[in-house]
Amino acid sequence: MNSVKTPKDNVILVPIDFSSASDRALEHAVGIADLFDNEITLLYVVKESFFKSIFGSAVERDVLMGQLKERLEAKKQEVQAKYPKLHLNIVVKEGTVYKQILHVAEESHCDSIVMGYHGDSAVEQVLGSTTSRVLRSSHVPVVIVKEVPAKTQYDRILLPIDLTRESRQKVSWAIHIAKKYDSEIHVIMEVEQDEFLMNKVRNNLNQVEHLLEKEGVRFVSKLLDDQHYPDEFGKDILKYSEESDIDLILIMTQKETGIMDFFLGSFARQVIQGSKNTPVMAINPKELAVKLVPGY
């Protein structure tokens, strides 16, 4: 009789490709796991096309897979030498990279994915296939790490809100994370020149403030005026983040239709690229995967 798995809700998935970017992601994930007793699953994905183009026999394939597992095991031992109480799993899969990341995240009941940022060099990097498709399709938050922050404790979480319904879905996640980390949430919205839209901004902000008060979460809120924050919202978010020493920026990925649909929306792309040393947590807005706060 097969046993039924129940979600652990404490497993962090870290895709590894042995690059400096994935090493930074692992270091950040280890800091979080050490603080909050998370497990970490290290995942390496071998593209199917690699075997088809290089190796002709099952023996050669098995040899390479074994070597990869040994290398991943060595990475695991390296981490556990510093953090002996930390529990790490290693997984090697074959297939399409982003599909295997999503599959393992679901199969292992991960509550988040932590990925390294490879740089600003065009589409195949953070704008392109693997990272973008994970961000677009993941049912759990994805944290993008550029540089390892000075601390892994998220003392201040930046929660930008706009007038879209999808944007407000972030509030549930922000409350969940803030309670876990005992964080202060910084809620920001932009001032609108149109009086009707400005009333909607105030109403939205009041709703968020009321909910945060009800949930007992510490917060500050601010309307960004054009005088001090004259740019588009993405750039203003980054400016506020630097000024307020933010530890985590929480955004929603945005849907863009057409042939480029698998790429990130321009807003999400701008924040991720410009965030410097601040990790960005991106949440997929479609059919919100987890409703953490009833009634919102």
The DSSP result for 25-66, as a single string, is HHHHHHHHHHHHT-EEEEEEEE-HHHHHHH--SHHHHHHHHH
Q: What is the pLDDT of residue 137?
A: 87
Same domain, 37 and 115: yes
Same domain, 133 and 259: no
Residue 103 sits in a domain whose CATH number is 3.40.50.620
Task: State residue 167's pLDDT score.
Answer: 73
Q: Is there a single domain that holds both residue 128 and residue 176? A: no
Answer yes or no: do 237 and 119 share one domain.
no
Report the domain count for the chain.
2
- The parent domain of residue 114 ranges over 11-145
Return the pLDDT at 182. 92
What residues of the chain score a pLDDT lower than 50? 1-8, 121-128, 256-263, 288-296
DSSP secondary structure code for residue 146 in this structure:
S
The domain boundary, picked from 88, 121, 145, lies at: 145
Model pTM score: 0.84
Domain boundary among 145, 177, 197: 145
Q: Are residues 62 and 175 in the same domain?
A: no
Q: Which two structure tokens, joined as six digits, stand for 293? A: 């706060």
- Do 85 and 131 have their domain in common? yes
pLDDT score, position 80: 94
On whether residue 151 sits in a domain, the answer given is no
Query: Which pLDDT score, from 0 to 100, does residue 34 have?
Result: 86
Residue 150 lies in a domain: no
Q: Which class for 210: exposed (0-12), middle (13-18), buried (19 or more C-beta within 10 A)?
A: exposed
Question: Is 137 in the same domain as 193?
Answer: no
How many Å apart are CA 144 and CA 99, to the nearest integer? Answer: 18
> 82-102 pLDDT, tens per residue?
999 999 999 999 899 999 999
Residue in 182, 183, 178, 200 with CA at minimum distance from that of residue 191: 200
